[in-house]
A and B are shown apart, each in its own frame.
Chain A
Amino acid sequence: MHSATVAQLSLGLQQGRYSATELARGLLERIARAQPALNAFISIEADSAMAAAAAADARLAQGGAPALTGVPIAHKDIFCASGSRTTCGSRMLANFVSPYDATVVERLRAAGAVVLGKTNMDEFAMGSSNETSYFGPVRNPWDPGRVPGGSSGGSAAAVAARLVPAATATDTGGSIRQPAALCGVTGIKPTYGRVSRYGMIAFASSLDQAGVIARTAEDAALLLGAMAGFDERDSTSVDRAVPDYRAGLERPLAGLRVGLLKEFFEHGLDPAIDAALRVALEVLRGQGATLQEVSLPNLPLSVPTYYVVAPAECSSNLARFDGVRFGHRCEQPRDLRDLYERSRGEGFGAEVKRRIMTGTYVLSAGYYDAYYLKAQRVRQLIAEDFNRAFAEVDVLIGPTTPTVAFGLGDKTSDPVTMYLNDIYTIGANLAGLPAMSIPCGFVGGLPVGLQIIGAHFAEQRLLNVAHRYQLETDWHLRAPEAYR
């Protein structure tokens, strides 16, 4: 049952072939067994999960329950859930119990999903390897010596290891797609504004977007449909109807115009990954898609642009963690300054501090124009590059990451090397575009991700391309040996 998809579980539950309680119990056991090896969870919420499963069974018995009723999922520990510890992977919030629900949490609960726990993540979603978590690194289920990617490393590892069929995640610069690629699962970051950010602890507000990590595009479509939509509590959420994502999955790819991102296939891409991608592209061509190379000349500026904008916003967003109202407070503060300095000094890890300092610097008087303002202009240029490209093609395709999963500790000593891991994913965040990563092969026994980027609100098209690809391939069905 642990290898069943959301779609299969939904059907089985509705048909009464098994109960939500059985499912939850089985997966909770599996999670507990895997936890010492993977550390994919920060909180395993067995009691509330069993209660929710019992409620789901009652609802199922009545008939007419929504499709996700009884389906077990996990939330990235960045989403506030009422009565649930919500740590954001930080010592700062290690004991923070949220008094309210994020919109994503509320909507998935209303849709009937049963939450088994909160997944591990890089501290405040800042990281690409899940090594910055206060709760320790997550291990890649394909190779415990390697990272699962980040920041949604816990969600990706949990889905890859068949601990849950799907999990929520967030993506500010690649935090859904990069771990999905490194763990061999399917991840979608929707258009900025498609899913409400209310209750999702902010890292960089203009880039943060909630999405899904699942094993199949169909499952991603199911969950995204339940999460998406306008929310008056988030001014940046967009008031636009949510299509039935599942309904568009089967559309044939004949006539699909695929753009190959020239800049992504150039420098620094592992030739083995390049080769895997070329094979995948042939699968799409075989289904009637046409391929053409597309150049986005400003795209190589994504990383420096991102590492100005994101830290700037984070330096301000994280100012509220001051030891006054919630979160970590130092022992016996001498005065106000001491309270601030020690509470924040003790509560935040090195990477978070690095970004707060970078962000404070780029917003400072005398530097604002040279850094923040210039970065915003470049961001606009990158967005315009994408707009031009989408006049010619329907989707853009390229690698999700330059390499497969790297070893734990390999990149922790040099932040810039770590940042370059997001080189292919950041562009979509800067331009607010929807993007997916799907498994498209293996290099040295480790999964490779194929990235599909669409125009604003083209989630349905992305899911359709991914689904058609998954009908022809079985990369997404492969499970790490230890977790089959």
Chain B
Amino acid sequence: MAAAWETVIGLEIHAQLATRTKIFSSSATAYGAPPNAQANLVDLGYPGVLPVLNGAAVRMAVMFGLAIGARIAPRSVFARKNYFYPDLPKGYQISQYELPIVAGGHVDIVLEDGSTRRIAVTRAHLEEDAGKSLHEGLPGITGIDLNRAGTPLIEIVSEPQLRSAREAVAYMKKVHTLVRYLRICDGNMQEGSFRCDANVSIRPAGAQEFGTRAEIKNINSFRFVEKAINFEVARQIELLESGGRVVQETRLYDPDKAETRSMRSKEEANDYRYFPDPDLLPVVLDDAFISGVAAQLPELPDQKAQRFSTQYQLSGYDAQVLTASAELADYYEAVVRELGGSAKLAANWVGGDLAAFLNRDGLEITASRVSAASLAALLRRIGDDTISGKIAKDVFEAMWDQRQEADEIIAARGLRQITDDGPIEQAIEAVMAANPKQLADYRGGKDKLFGFFVGQVMKAMQGKANPGRLNELLKRKLGG
């Protein structure tokens, strides 16, 4: 039955802009300060105070717009979104409504089968964040922390073109990569710097009209996005197939119970009474400003992946993996530069062993325990036959755990590869002597046993034999 339904998803991503100060005040935006230590009179909404727009936030929004090929509005307008809530000090949020700073644009995502889909972005607008209500450790009262109030956000609204939870995650990850490339958002999801609302509906496969949607608010991890959407889709299918109907409402995802539940229905929704904020002038951007920002855009993920494919002759997959973040790409390029080539070897290591260790320890590439120069030094030892690729894996683990250089470990553990014929021949002879039956079988035509002998000799030599020499000598000896 499930195949009869098509899922329709649109995401509203909130990315906190990495400005030093707030969007309309001079308070700092750093995370983790004691409650209200970063809330000045403007953030507190004191009588008589006025907002003053932070130009850095405007510039960042323009960067994002240019990066997704959107139109930058020559004139955009801040509007007030009016509603009462204790952590909304002015009783309204300053946002953009009818005239957002960024309109149109698109984000390309790569699906699991390697195909690409282009997801249209409706708009992206600037707005201020609200504060936080605190309940923990405050029995019977609600605390208000306004440190976050006035933090600049860009809200990125996609068209309802995503067709599965996985696509939604791929899109969100791509936007995450993009904002980090642009250095306009730190991307920290635990701290709420990057989060999304998901609009989810289903319709009979092939239908033109959209079904009634539910909006799942404030999801702050890729994993939760996938789980929340999958739960919601299943819920809606079950509802419709049991003769019920989906009501338009706002829902919350509860990660502990892995379910969404109703927060408020459409009828209970606020009438936000948007109108242009008379305290702020329209944001007017001329072509010179916009082209100035365009000229300073960094290389973007898609461009970089394209360049990696051609410059380093990598597969599309490798190129994608290595450009997932600008820092990872920089690391990879530093390794290749140090090595003076061996781009494919470097790609295997950066995308393979290194990525696995980073993942195991939950580290970002910038916190890698093995530097690009050190990794290059290790790979150089594979290239010059000092060690085998297999030994290199052990050396890498030691480098990671003990923070030592490859050469130190190779020397200390005596891992240098043996290429002289003498010791290899000695080991071969010893193995042949110890395994007369296998030797007889091999000589009797059981070619497959060659591998057995390779393994035994390697084992006897603690893996240090040069694989090439070993093969050649073993063939000769076994042949009698």
A residues contacting B by CB (< 8 A) are: 79-80, 86, 88, 93, 96, 98-100, 102, 197-202, 204-206, 232-236, 312-313, 315-316, 318-322, 324-327, 336, 340, 360, 363-365, 368, 372
Q: Which residue of B lies closest to A196 (CB)?
A: B50
> For window 71-88 of chain B, which residues contact chain A by CB distance below 8 Å?
80, 82, 84, 86
Contact A102 B84 (CB under 8 A): no
Checking B49, B271, B278 against A206 with a beta-carbon cut-off of 8 angstroms, the contacting residue is: B278
Contact A80 B52 (CB under 8 A): no
> For window 172-214 of chain B, which residues contact chain A by CB distance below 8 Å?
none
User: Which of B40-48, B391-399, B400-408, B454-462 is the contact stretch?
Assistant: B40-48
Contact A199 B49 (CB under 8 A): yes
Contact A363 B82 (CB under 8 A): yes
Q: How far is the CA of A315 from the CA of B90 in the complex (A)?
A: 11
Complex interface: chain A residues within 8 A of B86 (CB)? 322, 324, 336
Q: Does B160 contact A (CB under 8 A)?
A: no
Lowest 4 A-B CB distances belong to which pairs? A319-B91, A206-B278, A363-B273, A205-B278
Q: Which residue of B lies closest to A323 (CB)?
A: B86
Q: How far is the CA of A199 from the CA of B84 in the complex (A)?
A: 23
Complex interface: chain B residues within 8 A of A204 (CB)? 278
What's the nearest-Cβ distance from chain B to residue A114, in Å? Answer: 22
Complex interface: chain A residues within 8 A of B49 (CB)? 100, 198-199
What's the nearest-Cβ distance from chain A to residue B102, in Å? Answer: 21
Contact A325 B281 (CB under 8 A): no
Known contacts A206-B278, A363-B82; decide if A99 and B50 are in contact (CB<8 Å).
no
Contact A363 B280 (CB under 8 A): no
Q: How far is the CA of A234 from the CA of B89 in the complex (A)?
A: 19
Known contacts A205-B278, A235-B53, A336-B86; decide if A325 and B273 are in contact (CB<8 Å).
no
Name B's interface SS: loop
Complex interface: chain B residues within 8 A of A326 (CB)? 46-47
8 pairs across A/B with beta carbons < 8 Å? A102-B48, A236-B278, A316-B273, A320-B45, A320-B89, A325-B89, A364-B271, A365-B273
Contact A325 B53 (CB under 8 A): no
Complex interface: chain A residues within 8 A of B45 (CB)? 320, 325
What's the nearest-Cβ distance from chain A to residue B362, in Å? Answer: 39
Q: Given contacts A234-B50, A322-B86, could you give 10 more A-B pairs where the C-beta distance is less than 8 Å?
A: A79-B48, A80-B46, A86-B47, A232-B52, A236-B281, A313-B275, A315-B273, A316-B91, A325-B45, A372-B275
Known contacts A99-B46, A199-B49; decide if A313 and B278 are in contact (CB<8 Å).
yes
Contact A235 B52 (CB under 8 A): yes
Q: How far is the CA of A326 from the CA of B89 in the complex (A)?
A: 11
Checking B80, B144, B273 against A364 with a beta-carbon cut-off of 8 angstroms, the contacting residue is: B273
Contact B275 A235 (CB under 8 A): no
Q: Does B389 contact A (CB under 8 A)?
A: no
What's the nearest-Cβ distance from chain A to residue B27, in Å? Answer: 14
Contact A320 B82 (CB under 8 A): no
Q: Which residue of B lies closest to A344 (CB)?
A: B84
Known contacts A316-B275, A319-B84, A363-B275; decide if A235 and B46 are in contact (CB<8 Å).
no
Contact A316 B82 (CB under 8 A): yes
Q: Does B104 contact A (CB under 8 A)?
A: no
Complex interface: chain A residues within 8 A of B273 (CB)? 315-316, 360, 363-365, 368
What's the nearest-Cβ distance from chain B to residue A370, in Å? Answer: 14
Residue in B82, B142, B278 with the greatest tally of chain A CB atoms within 10 Å: B278
Contact A100 B41 (CB under 8 A): yes
What's the nearest-Cβ distance from chain A to residue B145, in Å? Answer: 13
Contact B279 A80 (CB under 8 A): no
Q: Does B231 contact A (CB under 8 A)?
A: no
Contact A322 B47 (CB under 8 A): no
Complex interface: chain B residues within 8 A of A368 (CB)? 273, 275
Contact B271 A197 (CB under 8 A): no
Residue in A93, A232, A236, A320 with the greatest tally of chain B CB atoms within 10 Å: A320
Complex interface: chain A residues within 8 A of B278 (CB)? 204-206, 236, 313
B residues contacting A by CB (< 8 A) are: 41, 44-53, 80, 82, 84, 86, 89-92, 142, 144, 271, 273-275, 278-281
Contact B47 A201 (CB under 8 A): yes
Residue in A199, A360, A364, A372 with the greatest tally of chain B CB atoms within 10 Å: A199
Q: How far is the CA of A132 from the CA of B51 in the complex (A)?
A: 29
Q: Which residue of B lies closest to A79 (CB)?
A: B48
Contact A198 B271 (CB under 8 A): no
Q: How far is the CA of A142 from the CA of B305 in the complex (A)?
A: 82
Q: Which residue of B lies closest to A319 (CB)?
A: B91
Complex interface: chain B residues within 8 A of A93 (CB)? 47
What's the nearest-Cβ distance from chain A to residue B322, in Å? Answer: 45
Contact A80 B48 (CB under 8 A): yes
Contact A316 B279 (CB under 8 A): no
Checking B41, B46, B92 against A319 with a beta-carbon cut-off of 8 angstroms, the contacting residue is: B92
Checking B48, B84, B89, B275 against A200 with a beta-carbon cut-off of 8 angstroms, the contacting residue is: B48
Complex interface: chain B residues within 8 A of A234 (CB)? 50, 52
Q: How far is the CA of A327 from the CA of B45 in the complex (A)?
A: 12
Q: How far is the CA of A197 from the CA of B49 in the complex (A)?
A: 8
Q: How far is the CA of A88 from the CA of B47 in the complex (A)?
A: 10
Checking A201, A327, A372 against B48 with a beta-carbon cut-off of 8 angstroms, the contacting residue is: A201
Q: How far is the CA of A180 from the CA of B237 in the complex (A)?
A: 70
Complex interface: chain B residues within 8 A of A98 (CB)? 47-48
What's the nearest-Cβ distance from chain A to residue B37, in Å? Answer: 16
Complex interface: chain A residues within 8 A of B271 (CB)? 364-365
Complex interface: chain A residues within 8 A of B281 (CB)? 235-236
Contact A233 B52 (CB under 8 A): yes
Q: How far is the CA of A197 from the CA of B53 in the complex (A)?
A: 16
Complex interface: chain B residues within 8 A of A327 (CB)? 47
What's the nearest-Cβ distance from chain A to residue B131, in Å? Answer: 11
Q: How far is the CA of A261 from the CA of B331 in the complex (A)?
A: 74
What's the nearest-Cβ distance from chain B to residue A97, in Å? Answer: 11
Complex interface: chain A residues within 8 A of B275 (CB)? 312-313, 316, 363, 368, 372
What's the nearest-Cβ distance from chain B to residue A229, in Å? Answer: 16
Contact A235 B50 (CB under 8 A): yes
Q: How far is the CA of A102 from the CA of B91 in the complex (A)?
A: 22
What's the nearest-Cβ distance from chain B to residue A361, in Å? Answer: 10
Known contacts A236-B281, A316-B92, A363-B275; decide if A325 and B44 are in contact (CB<8 Å).
yes
Checking B50, B91, B280 against A197 with a beta-carbon cut-off of 8 angstroms, the contacting residue is: B50
Q: How far is the CA of A224 from the CA of B118 in the complex (A)?
A: 59
Contact B80 A316 (CB under 8 A): yes
Known contacts A99-B41, A320-B91; decide if A235 and B48 are in contact (CB<8 Å).
no
Complex interface: chain A residues within 8 A of B144 (CB)? 324-325
Q: How far is the CA of A234 from the CA of B51 in the complex (A)?
A: 7
What's the nearest-Cβ distance from chain B to residue A157, in Å? Answer: 24
Complex interface: chain A residues within 8 A of B142 (CB)? 336
Known contacts A312-B275, A360-B273; decide if A322 and B91 are in contact (CB<8 Å).
yes
Q: How far is the CA of A80 from the CA of B86 in the complex (A)?
A: 24
Q: Which residue of B lies closest to A199 (CB)?
A: B48
What's the nearest-Cβ distance from chain B to residue A325, in Å? Answer: 6
Q: How far is the CA of A320 from the CA of B281 in the complex (A)?
A: 21
Contact A202 B48 (CB under 8 A): yes
Known contacts A319-B90, A320-B90, A322-B84; decide if A198 and B48 are in contact (CB<8 Å).
yes
Contact B51 A235 (CB under 8 A): yes
Q: Which residue of A lies closest to B279 (CB)?
A: A205
Residue in B50, B51, B52, B82 with the greatest tally of chain A CB atoms within 10 Å: B50
Complex interface: chain B residues within 8 A of A325 (CB)? 44-46, 89, 144
Complex interface: chain B residues within 8 A of A363 (CB)? 82, 273-275
Q: Which residue of B lies closest to A80 (CB)?
A: B48
Q: How far is the CA of A99 from the CA of B44 in the complex (A)?
A: 12
Q: How far is the CA of A100 from the CA of B47 in the complex (A)?
A: 10
What's the nearest-Cβ distance from chain A to residue B171, in Å? Answer: 31
What's the nearest-Cβ distance from chain A to residue B263, in Å? Answer: 16
What's the nearest-Cβ distance from chain A to residue B173, in Å? Answer: 36
Q: How far is the CA of A204 from the CA of B275 in the complex (A)?
A: 13
What's the nearest-Cβ distance from chain A to residue B52, in Å? Answer: 6
Q: Which residue of B lies closest to A337 (CB)?
A: B84
Q: How far is the CA of A315 from the CA of B280 in the complex (A)?
A: 17
Q: How far is the CA of A206 from the CA of B276 in the complex (A)?
A: 10
What's the nearest-Cβ distance from chain B to residue A440, in Å? Answer: 34
